[in-house]
A and B are shown apart, each in its own frame.
Chain A
């Protein structure tokens, strides 16, 4: 393929430029047309100034050949998508919960996380980066959907109020692509 041929050609050009710069041989003859500077592509100075990539050993090269062979023999099923994901529906009916917490009618905010840690002091510590859903509770309800990856079994749901109290937390398990409370 040209892409890889190009890589080889660039390496060969690099070697050629190095030897040309070294001023070796030639017996004082004028350079042949093959060495004219106009034939040198512009990236060459960058190549000459770059750190040397680490060369592969012969063993590594044979490993590559074996892996390429395995790659050529690898077969997938016709409809396989190469990533595991499903749409998950979230239906949280928090009416009773809010009543119990005496928070009915208060502003409340829901977050759903896919990464979290169980704290030694009790409760969960969510990784804020892993939030998949967030939004307000409306009339005690929160209904949404998100994409579940790699068959993750459970998610952390947090409900925060705006009055400075600690949140209500629960780890919920996905059942038939649904999460409910």
Chain B
């Protein structure tokens, strides 16, 4: 079912009520023709379990929708049809109505999806008594009042008759905790509430009314609205300042013991900033996830590694897109969560589209230890900027001086933000986070009701260092391999596809370190292949093995692969020239939802493997001695079948390189000339067919590869002219606007 869109509806109500009424009348009459049993729109329950939380205030009651992720809120309805305050509300997941207590006329009511109130016929509650605390579970409404007790009302009779008599049953009169709201945990079935005065979190057993002190939340105040999400996170909204706090109760289930509860850390973590109020009550469908992935996302998340608190689970930073407050020239796209590892916010497909929206921050000078630096920040308009730098490179923004920019006001256009790199900073690659918003006082985590978060990698350097990037600091070339060599096959160029870039760190005019970064894009074949890079003119003995580093998805690797007890080193031994192996078997790094990984139509999934190789050199080498992209190649995984051209499993002896790149010393030269290969090592001819075609291509862009078994000529017809003209025509044949999109993955 399509979730209800409260905000849109309200906007239509207020702006175009007349037109809307006509449309509704028309749609209703159409639906009536189709379905005789349909209820009138005005009395209908909610059509789904909404991800939004509801907040109710004032007399007559005002109904708000609150996005707990960002704290953003919107008035949904100001006319409930009754001049009364409604409190103690809860969402009933069985019939999808809201139930609450009319504190003006002292009776139990329910609200439909239009937030219109119906009074219910309930007996058994104490006379002349208001209830401000309530929630619903399992089609039963519970109300609580300090000093009065806990009551339960079975709502099932309403299924057949809205005016059916209901009776309230007293569960316990023992009720000393000072609550202003309570909520049912969706997974353990217990009620939870925070005592306003002490800040203590209590669990209440709904069958007996007995209470258990879970611990101290560390926050006090009037928590007028409390909610759960489907994962068991508990949210408190404080009336006085609108702050929304989150307590992690996600481990609790029906089988949890009292000890499980009391051993939890129940500290309330500041999560977002919502509306403040003199009087609040909250209700939410507890089975709903916090962000509904069936609707378009309007929230921007960051993309630093997970240790920087990037994911929603870790209260990672996020901003509601307001269309006005952002960094760079392009407004950000919506995300459903933060990205860590290969799946960066620059490229992730959300809402059916994606683009590089991390375009507002540029590190235009070096970050040298102990010296000043300048950052260029482009703002869409007025707003407030804060930024954090992980100076000591320990994977967080918690340390001394790591908030380097605090609530600096920006104006539209380019802003120059100076900062000082502390003397305790440690040289090397690190991460930074920039948050731009209409709100000040943001931390590096938590929600914001406007703006954008941009996470950027940066390098803390010693003085006198320069950098040479290929093809650009954060841009890519694509490497695409056919793995059937020495036989030419379907030329879909998707058996192994990598995004790839290199960074050369230069000091005193010589290269001191080479970094290579890549993201696996596709695996379109059954053969098992590894991936490696040969540095043709760098001696193996010139690589500093002590500081050589390989990361898979930001995690440091000891080996390039293992097979049982066998381990494979990252820097291969017995080669004169350095060969660095990224992975021995790429299929061990990727799992597919289909037969292949991201090559079949209808088999979309996000990237799941990236790598970073950092190769320090013992003796610096001249700028001219290496040429990016060097010699990246695939090779056959040891001990596995790799085609009928080989009488036994070829293993490491089978390599497939870019055209005219010589294989390594571990290549089995007996394979030259097999099947369609016409390599002639004596003249430097390698990996070409009789027609001089290659088995591997380097595309100088972030390239979209053909789908399974679609020859490259079908997907990119201009490739023909490019080849036949010897590269003088159609040089940009690989760009998306040159493709036939139906033949791309």
A-to-B contact residues, CB < 8 Å? 1-4, 6-7, 10, 46-47, 50-54, 63-64, 67-68, 70-85, 87, 107, 109, 111, 113-115, 117, 121, 125-136, 138, 144-147, 149-151, 158, 160-162, 164-167
Q: A4-B489, A81-B659 are in contact. List 6 more A-B contacts (CB 8 A).
A: A50-B603, A64-B711, A109-B364, A129-B359, A131-B469, A160-B374
Asked if B32 is an interface residue, CB under 8 A from chain A, the answer is no
19 CB contacts below 8 A, A to B, read: A2-B641, A3-B527, A53-B594, A53-B708, A54-B600, A67-B710, A67-B713, A77-B692, A121-B413, A128-B474, A129-B472, A129-B473, A130-B475, A134-B473, A135-B466, A136-B464, A138-B464, A144-B466, A150-B731
Query: How far apart sit A137 and B525, CA to CA, in the bound complex (Å)?
Result: 49
Contact segment of B114-122, B665-673, B718-726: B718-726
Choose from B413, B473, B623, B723 the contact partner of A82 (Cβ within 8 Å).
Answer: B723
Asked if B93 is an interface residue, CB under 8 A from chain A, the answer is no
Closest 7 CB pairs of A and B: A135-B466, A129-B474, A67-B714, A53-B600, A54-B601, A128-B362, A76-B692
User: Once the chains bind, are B475 and A51 in contact (CB under 8 Å)?
Assistant: no
A-B contact count (CB 8 A): 215
User: Which chain B residues lie closer than 8 Å to A73 at the CB level?
Assistant: 691
Closest B residue to A167 by CB, please name it: B364
User: Which chain A residues lie closer than 8 Å to B371 at the CB level?
Assistant: 107, 162
Asked if B6 is an interface residue, CB under 8 A from chain A, the answer is no
User: Which chain A residues lie closer than 8 Å to B374 at the CB level?
Assistant: 160-162, 164
User: Once the chains bind, are A160 and B731 in contact (CB under 8 Å)?
Assistant: no
Query: How far apart sit A73 and B627, CA to CA, in the bound complex (Å)?
Result: 32
Query: How far apart sit A57 and B732, CA to CA, in the bound complex (Å)?
Result: 30
Choose from A2, A81, A144 the contact partner of B643 (Cβ within 8 Å).
Answer: A2
User: Once the chains bind, are B724 and A74 in contact (CB under 8 Å)?
Assistant: yes
User: Once the chains bind, are B603 and A83 in contact (CB under 8 Å)?
Assistant: no
Closest A residue to B473 by CB, please name it: A131
User: Once the chains bind, are B471 and A134 in contact (CB under 8 Å)?
Assistant: no
For residue A116, give the distance in angstroms from its CB to the closest CB of chain B: 11
User: Which chain B residues lie closer than 8 Å to A50 at the CB level?
Assistant: 592-595, 603
Query: How far apart sit A164 and B377, CA to CA, in the bound complex (Å)?
Result: 12
For residue B722, give the distance in angstroms from its CB to the closest CB of chain A: 8
User: Which chain A residues lie closer than 8 Å to B693 at the CB level?
Assistant: 74-76
Closest A residue to B604 by CB, please name it: A51
For residue A23, give the distance in angstroms from its CB to the closest CB of chain B: 25
Query: How far apart sit A13 and B455, CA to CA, in the bound complex (Å)?
Result: 47
Asked if B356 is an interface residue, CB under 8 A from chain A, the answer is yes
User: Chain B's interface: helix, strand, loop or mixed, by majority?
Assistant: loop
User: Once the chains bind, are B471 and A149 in contact (CB under 8 Å)?
Assistant: yes
Asked if B697 is an interface residue, CB under 8 A from chain A, the answer is yes
Query: How far apart sit A128 and B356, CA to CA, in the bound complex (Å)?
Result: 11
For residue B429, give the distance in angstroms from its CB to the closest CB of chain A: 14
User: Once the chains bind, are A51 and B593 in contact (CB under 8 Å)?
Assistant: yes
Known: A109-B365, A164-B418. A76 touches B723 (CB 8 A): yes
User: Once the chains bind, are A160 and B601 in contact (CB under 8 Å)?
Assistant: no
User: Once the chains bind, are B659 and A82 in contact (CB under 8 Å)?
Assistant: yes
Query: How far apart sit A161 and B374, CA to CA, in the bound complex (Å)?
Result: 8
Query: How far apart sit A3 and B599, CA to CA, in the bound complex (Å)?
Result: 14
Query: How far apart sit A23 and B549, CA to CA, in the bound complex (Å)?
Result: 54
User: Which chain A residues lie closer than 8 Å to B414 at the CB level?
Assistant: 125, 166
Asked if B156 is an interface residue, CB under 8 A from chain A, the answer is no
For residue A7, give the distance in angstroms from its CB to the closest CB of chain B: 7
User: Which chain A residues lie closer than 8 Å to B483 at the CB level?
Assistant: 3
User: Once the chains bind, are B691 and A164 in contact (CB under 8 Å)?
Assistant: no
Known: A2-B644, A71-B711, A125-B378. A53 touches B366 (CB 8 A): no
User: Once the chains bind, are A51 and B329 in contact (CB under 8 Å)?
Assistant: no
User: Once the chains bind, are B466 and A133 in contact (CB under 8 Å)?
Assistant: yes
Query: How far apart sit A177 and B596, CA to CA, in the bound complex (Å)?
Result: 42
Asked if B26 is an interface residue, CB under 8 A from chain A, the answer is no
Known: A4-B490, A75-B724. A158 touches B468 (CB 8 A): no
Closest A residue to B740 by CB, please name it: A63
For residue A160, give the distance in angstroms from its CB to the closest CB of chain B: 4
Query: How far apart sit A59 and B468, CA to CA, in the bound complex (Å)?
Result: 48
Choose from A52, A78, A131 the contact partner of B602 (Cβ within 8 Å).
Answer: A52
User: Once the chains bind, are B709 and A64 in contact (CB under 8 Å)?
Assistant: yes
Asked if B126 is an interface residue, CB under 8 A from chain A, the answer is no
Asked if B372 is an interface residue, CB under 8 A from chain A, the answer is yes
Closest B residue to A117 by CB, please name it: B329
Asked if B146 is an interface residue, CB under 8 A from chain A, the answer is no
Known: A67-B713, A117-B329, A164-B416. A51 touches B603 (CB 8 A): yes
For residue A66, give the distance in angstroms from its CB to the closest CB of chain B: 8
Closest B residue to A127 by CB, please name it: B359
How does the 8 Å CB contact mask read for B667-694 relative to A, with 1 for contact and 0 for none?
Answer: 0000000000000000001001001111
User: Which chain B residues lie closer than 8 Å to A46 at the CB level?
Assistant: 592
Most buried by B among A111, A151, A162: A162
Choose from A74, A85, A113, A132 the contact partner of B720 (Cβ within 8 Å).
Answer: A74
User: Once the chains bind, are A132 and B472 in contact (CB under 8 Å)?
Assistant: yes
User: Which chain A residues lie closer than 8 Å to B491 at the CB level?
Assistant: 68, 71
For residue B457, give the distance in angstroms from its CB to the closest CB of chain A: 11
For residue A109, give the distance in angstroms from its CB to the closest CB of chain B: 4
Query: How far apart sit A151 and B688, CA to CA, in the bound complex (Å)?
Result: 25
User: Which chain B residues lie closer than 8 Å to A164 at the CB level?
Assistant: 374, 416, 418
User: Which chain A residues lie closer than 8 Å to B691 at the CB level?
Assistant: 72-76
User: Once the chains bind, are A147 and B628 in contact (CB under 8 Å)?
Assistant: yes
Asked if B559 is an interface residue, CB under 8 A from chain A, the answer is no
Closest A residue to B360 by CB, please name it: A128
User: Which chain A residues lie closer than 8 Å to B495 at the CB level?
Assistant: 3
Choose from B470, B694, B711 the contact partner of A67 (Cβ within 8 Å).
Answer: B711
Known: A53-B594, A121-B413. A160 touches B365 (CB 8 A): yes
For residue B499, give the distance in angstroms from its CB to the closest CB of chain A: 12
